[in-house]
Amino acid sequence: MEVVPYETSIVVPFREKDEQFIKIQDLIDAKRKLLIDKQKKLRFISKQNRFLEAVRSDYVKYNDYVLEQKRNQIKALQLLEDYINDLKISGKLTKNNIEDAKEEQAKILREVKSIKNSLDSIISETEGVHGSLDKKKYSL
């Protein structure tokens, strides 16, 4: 059995403990750096999300405005159609005027159909943006 001097037997465990402590300290520093990096990334993503939410909100407002304009166009064209029908029924139109009125009515109906198709297209394309659409809000 080898005899180890007293000081050597104390120094070796301390050196091992110091090395373990240094490794643990390095791990703590690495974890701290990782957490700081993740926090920076999270702040960046959070700012991006706020920006994207603002863009989405603006888009929804614009889309709602366009939908309302389309609805107003349809209402105006339907009023014109009703007026032409009233003129035809009242008998205040000549035969030529009735033919002209029918042509105008056909044009109005085509325009209403075109606007409705455009509106349907807008609604179907924006369903994902609006989330679950309130069908009553976006219907005619």
Task: Report domain extents, the chain.
Answer: 17-130
Q: Is the pTM of this model over 0.85?
A: no
Residue by residue, pLDDT tens for the chain (140 residues) are 555 555 555 555 667 777 888 888 889 889 989 988 888 888 888 888 888 888 888 888 888 888 888 888 888 888 887 887 787 777 776 777 777 877 887 888 888 888 888 877 777 776 665 554 444 444 54
**Residue 133 pLDDT:** 44
CB 140 within 8 A of CB 75: no
